[in-house]
Amino acid sequence: MQTVQRPPLPLRLLRVRPGGLVPIIALLAVLLILVAVRQPDFFAPPSLMSFLGRSAPIILLAAGQYFVIVSGEFDLSVGALVTAQVVVAARLIDSEPAHTWPVVLLLLGFGALVGLVNGLITTRLRVPSFITTLGMLLILLGAVYLWSDGAPKGGLSDEFRRFGRWAFEDVPVLGRVPYALIVLLAFAALAVLVARSDFGRTLIAVGDNPRTAELSGVRVWRHRTIAFVLSGVAAAVAAILIGGYSGVSFQAGAGLEFGAITAVVLGGVALGGGRGSVVGAMLGALSLELLFALMNFYGVSGALRSTVQGAIILLAVAVSAPRSSSR
C-alpha cells in the first residue's frame, strides 16, 4: 500500500474524527476541571475510588449498550432488566448467605437469556429492536412486580452486597479500593478485548452496512443476537453491583436504559450503528456520572438536573456527530 500525505502521529491523534475519542475526552476534561475548581479533595484517593466504584454499573451498562447500538440496534430493556434482577436476587437469596453464588450465576444466565430473546425476536421475527426491547421492558417490570406482589421480598445477603458495597481496605496509596472497581476493570478489559476481536470489528461492519457484511460471510443475525446477549450480561453484572451498592428496591434500574444510551451517544457512538468505540461509550458513562456529582457539588437543584443533562446531550451530539441521519 502506498501512503500519501500522511500527517505525523500527534496531528492524527488531534484530528477530530467522527466516532473518535477527542470530543468525549474534551468533555471529560472540562468536567474534571470544574470539579477541581469546586471540590479539589474530590481527587483524594478515597473519594475518587468510591466515585469510580459507584459509577461502575452505569459504565458496564454503557459497554453492553455499545455493542447493541454499534450493530445498528437499541436496547431499551436494560433498566427493567436490572430492576428485575435485583428483586429476583433478593427473593431467591432471602438473606441466606449460602444462596449467594448460585443466585449470582443464575442472574448472569437470566441476563444472557433475556438478551437472547431480544436478539432473536429482533433478527428472526424482524421486529424493530426499539419495539422488541420496549415490549421486553414492560414484560420484565410487569412480571417482576407480579411475582413479588408489588413489594420486594426477602433480602440480599451481605456476601451478595459485598460486590457493590465493600472494598479492599488500606491498599497502599489508594486507600480503599471498592470491589466494584475491580469488577469494573475486569469487565471493561473484557469489553475492550471483545470490541477488538474479530467479532467486535465485524459487528461494527454489520452496523455500517449489513449487506456488505453478509456478502463477506458475516452471519448478521447471529452477530446482532450476540450483541443483545452481551448487553443482557452487562445488565446482570450491573444489577449485582447496584443491588450490592444500595440494596433491593424497585427503583434499582429506573431510567438506566436512557442513561446508558445517552452515555454511549456522548461517547461518540452513532445511533444507527457503524461507528464508535467501547472505550468512548464507557468514558461517556463516566462523564455522565461526573456531571451528576458535579451538580451535587455545585448544589444544582435536583429538579434542574434533567435540564442540564438534556442540554449537555444535545450539545455533545450536535457538536460531535453531525453526520447521523434523522432515522
Partner 1 sequence: MRRTIAALAAVTLLGLAGCATDEPAAGPSGSASAAGSGTGEQSKFFVQADYDAELALLDATATGPADRPWEQVLNPKMVETAKFKKAGPHKLCFSNAALNNPWRQVGFKTMQAEVEAQGSRIKEFVHVDAEGKDQKQIADINDLLGKGCDALIVSPNTTATLTPAVTAACKAGLPVIVFDRGVDTPCPVTFINPIGGYGFGHVGAEFVSQRMKPGGKLLALRILPGVDVLETRWSAAKVAFDKAGVDVVGVEFTDGDPAKTKKIVNDYIQRHGTIDGVWMDAGAVAVAAVEAFQDAGKPVPPINGEDQLDFLKLWKDKGLTAIAPTYPTYQWRTPIIAALRILDGQPVSNPWKLPQPTVTQENLDSYLDLDMPPLHYAMCGCTDLPGYPQRWK
Partner 2 sequence: MSDPPPVPLLALRGIGKAFLGVRVLDGIDLDVAPGEVHAVVGENGAGKSTLMKIISGVHVPDGGSIEFAGEPRAFRGPRDAQRAGIGMIHQEFTLLPERTVAENVHLGHEPVRRGLVDRRQMLHHTRQLLASIGESALPADARVSRLGIAQQQVVEIAKALALDARLLIMDEPTAALADHEVELLYGLVRRLQQRGIGLLYVSHRLTEVFDLSDRITVLKDGRRMTTLRTADTTADELVRHMVGRELSSYYPDRADPADLGPARLTVRGGGNRKLRDVDLELRGGEVLGVGGLQGSGRSALARAVFGAAPFTTGEVTLDGVPVRLRSPRAAIRAGVAYVTEDRKGEGIVARQSVLDNALLASRAAVAARSGRAARATRIRELLAAVRVRAAGDDQEIRFLSGGNQQKVVLARWLMLSPRILLFDEPTRGIDVGAKSAIHDLVRRLARDGAAVLMISSELPELLGMSDRIIVMRDGRIAGELPAGTTEKDVVALAVGSVEAAA
Partner 3 sequence: MRALAFRPTRWAVPGVFVALALTLAIGWLVVLIDGGQLFNQSTTVSLLHVAAGLGLVAVGQTLVILGGSLDLSVAYVVSLSTLVAAETMNGSDGALVPAIGLALTVSAAVGLFNGLLVTRLRINAFIATLGVGLLLKGYLDNGYDGPAGATSPALVQTLGYQRIGPVPLSFLLLVAVAGVVWLALARTRFGHHLVAVGGDPEVARLSGVRNDRVLVTAHVLCSLCAGLAGIYLASRLGSGAPRVGSEGLYDLESIAAVVIGGTALAGGRGGVLGTVGGVLLLASIDAIFNQLEVDAFFKQVIRGVVIIAAVAVYARRALRKGAV
The residue ranges that bind partner 3 (CB under 8 A) are: 74, 121, 125-128, 130-132, 134-139, 141-143, 145-146, 150, 258, 261-262, 265, 270-272, 301-311, 313-314, 317-318, 321-327
Contact between 281 and 75 (Cβ < 8 Å): no
Query: For residue 42, with 0-12 CB atoms within 10 Å meaning exposed, 13-18 middle and 19 or more buried, which class applies?
Result: middle
Nearer to partner 2, 4 or 146 (CB): 4
72 near partner 2, judged by CB under 8 A: no
Report if residue 218 touches partner 2, rule: CB under 8 A. yes
201 binds partner 2 (CB under 8 A): yes
Applying CB under 8 A, among 43, 101, 130, 298 the residue interacting with partner 1 is 298
Q: Which three cell numbers stand for residue 138?
A: 414492560
Is residue 92 involved in binding partner 1 (CB under 8 A)? no
Q: Which three cell numbers stand for residue 243?
A: 443491588
Binding characters for partner 2, 150-189, by CB under 8 A (x = yes): ----------------------------------------
Look at residues 195, 193, 233 and name the one whose alpha carbon lies nearest to residue 19.
195
Q: Give which of 129, 142, 141 is closest to 76, Cα–Cα.
A: 129
Give the one residue of 1, 5, 41, 325 binding partner 1; rule: CB under 8 A.
41
- Taking each helix axis from N to C end, the angle separating 22-38 and 305-320, rounded to the nearest 10 degrees, works out to 150
Rounded distance, CA 190 to CA 201, Å? 15
Is 47 a binding residue for partner 1 by CB under 8 A? The answer is: yes
- Which listed residue (152, 207, 259, 274) binds partner 1 by CB under 8 A? 152
Nearer to partner 3, 168 or 221 (CB): 221
Length of the chain: 327
- Give the range of 130-138, 142-150, 206-214, 287-295 binding partner 2 by CB under 8 A: 206-214
Count, residues near partner 2 per rule CB under 8 A? 29
Q: Write out the DSSP string of 23-35.
A: HHHHHHHHHHHHH
What separation in angstroms does the CA of 281 have from each of 64, 67, 275? 9, 10, 11
